[in-house]
């Protein structure tokens, strides 16, 4: 249930209403939307009469949501979910910096990037071993070997690893992976999502190229229905008629998702733009609009990268960006 308060409602009155709702065993999460305060109320909302709430001076409107994403929505779980990866927390005010190359190429490459992004403040290392490529003739990733190299980089730096799964049959290989990524192309691979629901691994679920927010949340729901609630959503750009970027970064998705769901929402400005020089402004904008983190591609030699070199930052540029992100976070910290 969403209770929108009238503009100008005194803080005291708002707190009184929140206390009253909590006194009935309900959970309340406060969201700001278009200058108005909305109380997202969850639990056994049938215990409150929406008509009585509507009649209160402080209340502008009451909406009883019947969203199909029961577990992912704020309807049943108002408070932000905090996903924990080793000692790293994501969501509920904890901002995560994930960085690394598009693909794991060699031990030297992945260990060097891991060290550099760690020094810049990244908390998780990304790197693709199983690569879903548009062309079957381009580099397809190092597969199981790549996962071993990621583990080597983790041992060298202590950074937990995030890497993409492309087929449920690969799951046994992912036992020691810290976060399993579901790429945009697999967002609606329901058989894969079902298998991931059976695991207790944190999942990084990327938005499909042409997926609506409802479809993204329903994909999260597929994982959650299996009992795995450790999900981080990722906006990575969608297909539009924008012609100078690889995709169009849908930044409004961030505050919208934060209203709709308790799951953390991060942004990948690398795949969203496809252009290294656009990564910085979009990363800052994402941090400013309330994202719970950023996933950014970094390569020591972008010109010779085996995939996505054009959108990869050099380590020194990533370090400068990470500093700026921290400054933006100080301004907008929740
Ligand atoms: C990736 O993160 O390596 C990737 C392939 O991204 P996406 O699934 O968003 O295209
Ligand atoms: Mn990539």
Q: Say yes or no: CB of residue 246 within 6 Å of ligand 1.
A: no
Q: Which of 277, 294, 301 is nearest to 329 (CA)?
A: 294
Look at residue 118 and tell me if it is in a domain.
yes
* 320 and 193 share one domain: yes
Number of domains in the chain: 2
Strand 231-235 with 36-42, pairing: unpaired
For 164, the token pair is 């993409």
* 10 and 105 share one domain: no
* 90 and 143 share one domain: yes
Look at residue 131 and tell me if it is in a domain.
yes
User: Using 50, 70 and 90 to split pLDDT, how confident is the model at 117?
Assistant: very high
Q: Say yes or no: CB of residue 206 within 6 Å of ligand 1.
A: yes
Å from CA of 308 to ligand 2 middle? 5
Look at residue 221 and tell me if it is in a domain.
yes
Q: What integer best gives the mean pLDDT of the chain?
A: 95
> Any idea which ligand is nearest the CA of 184?
1
Look at residue 18 and tell me if it is in a domain.
yes
**CA–centroid distance for 39 within its chain:** 23
Give tens-digit pLDDT for 15-26: 999 999 999 999
Rounded to whole angstroms, how far apart are CA atoms 113 and 143? Answer: 19
* 23 and 153 share one domain: no
* 142 and 238 share one domain: yes
Q: Which residues pair with 162 in a beta bridge?
A: 126, 179
**Nearest ligand 1 atom, CA 234:** 9
The pLDDT score that the predictor gives to residue 334 is 54
Average pLDDT rounded to a whole number, residues 314-320? 98
Instruction: Check pLDDT > 60 for residue 100.
Output: yes
Instruction: Check pLDDT > 80 for residue 34.
Output: no
In this structure, the residue with its CA closest to atom 6 of ligand 1 is 183
Give tens-digit pLDDT for 207-258: 999 999 999 999 999 999 999 999 999 999 999 999 999 999 999 999 999 9
Q: How far is CA 321 from CA 122, 272, 309, 331, in A?
A: 11, 17, 18, 16
Q: Which CATH number covers residue 43?
A: 3.30.70.1140
Domain that holds residue 39: 2-63
Å from CA of 279 to ligand 1 middle? 15
Instruction: Check pLDDT > 80 for residue 66.
Output: no
Look at residue 25 and tell me if it is in a domain.
yes
If one residue of 128, 219, 253 were mutated to test the ligand 1 pocket, choosing by the most ligand atoms within 8 A of its CB, it would be 128
Average pLDDT rounded to a whole number, residues 100-121? 98
Q: Say yes or no: CB of residue 236 within 6 Å of ligand 1.
A: yes
* 118 and 44 share one domain: no
Look at residue 74 and tell me if it is in a domain.
no
Å from CA of 50 to ligand 1 middle? 43
Q: Which CATH number covers residue 167?
A: 3.20.20.70
The pLDDT score that the predictor gives to residue 2 is 87
Give tens-digit pLDDT for 42-58: 878 878 888 999 999 99
Look at residue 121 and tell me if it is in a domain.
yes
Q: Pick from 35, 63, 91: which residue ends a domain?
A: 63
Rounded to whole angstroms, how far apart are CA atoms 18 and 162? Answer: 38
* 51 and 150 share one domain: no
In this structure, the residue with its CA closest to atom 10 of ligand 1 is 184
Give tens-digit pLDDT for 155-209: 999 999 999 999 999 999 999 999 999 999 999 999 999 999 999 999 999 999 9
In this structure, the residue with its CA closest to atom 8 of ligand 1 is 183
For 3, the token pair is 């209770």
* 182 and 323 share one domain: yes
Let me know: does 312 contact 102? Beta carbons within 8 Å. yes
Look at residue 245 and tell me if it is in a domain.
yes
* 26 and 114 share one domain: no
Give tens-digit pLDDT for 264-294: 999 999 999 999 999 999 999 999 999 999 9
* 58 and 89 share one domain: no
> Any idea which ligand is nearest the CA of 311?
2
* 169 and 307 share one domain: yes
Strand 161-165 with 203-206, pairing: unpaired
Rounded to whole angstroms, how far apart are CA atoms 74 and 40? Answer: 7
* 242 and 291 share one domain: yes
């Amino acid at each position: 249930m969403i209770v929108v308060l009238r503009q100008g409602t005194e803080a005291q009155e708002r707190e009184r209403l929140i206390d009253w709702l909590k006194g009935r065993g309900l959970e309340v999460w406060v969201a700001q939307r278009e200058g108005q305060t909305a109380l997202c109320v969850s639990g056994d909302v049938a215990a409150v009469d929406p008509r009585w709430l509507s009649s209160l001076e402080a209340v502008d409107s009451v909406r009883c949501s019947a969203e199909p994403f029961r577990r992912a929505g704020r309807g049943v779980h108002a408070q932000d979910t905090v996903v924990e990866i080793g000692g790293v927390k994501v969501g509920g005010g904890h901002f995560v910096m994930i960085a690394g190359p598009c693909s794991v190429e060699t031990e030297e490459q992945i260990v060097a990037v891991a060290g550099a992004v760690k020094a810049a403040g990244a908390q998780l290392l990304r790197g693709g071993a199983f690569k879903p490529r548009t062309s079957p003739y381009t580099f397809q990733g190092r597969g199981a070997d790549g996962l071993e190299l990621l583990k080597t980089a983790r041992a060298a730096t202590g950074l937990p690893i995030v890497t993409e799964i492309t087929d449920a049959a690969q799951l046994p290989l992912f036992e020691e992976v810290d976060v399993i990524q579901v790429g945009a192309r697999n967002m609606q691979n329901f058989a894969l999502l079902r298998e991931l629901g059976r695991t207790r691994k944190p999942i990084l679920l990327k938005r499909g190229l042409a997926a609506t927010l409802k479809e993204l949340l329903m994909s999260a729901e597929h994982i959650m229905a299996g009992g795995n609630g450790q999900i981080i959503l990722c906006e990575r750009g969608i297909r539009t008629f924008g012609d100078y970027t690889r995709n169009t970064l849908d930044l409004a998705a961030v505050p919208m998702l934060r209203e709709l769901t308790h799951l953390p929402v991060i942004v990948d400005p690398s795949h969203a733009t496809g252009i290294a020089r656009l990564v910085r402004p979009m990363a800052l904008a994402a941090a400013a609009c309330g994202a719970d983190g950023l996933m950014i591609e970094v390569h020591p030699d972008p010109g010779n990268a085996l995939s996505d070199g054009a959108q990869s930052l050099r380590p020194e540029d990533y370090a400068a960006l990470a500093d700026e992100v921290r400054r933006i976070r100080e301004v907008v910290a929740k």
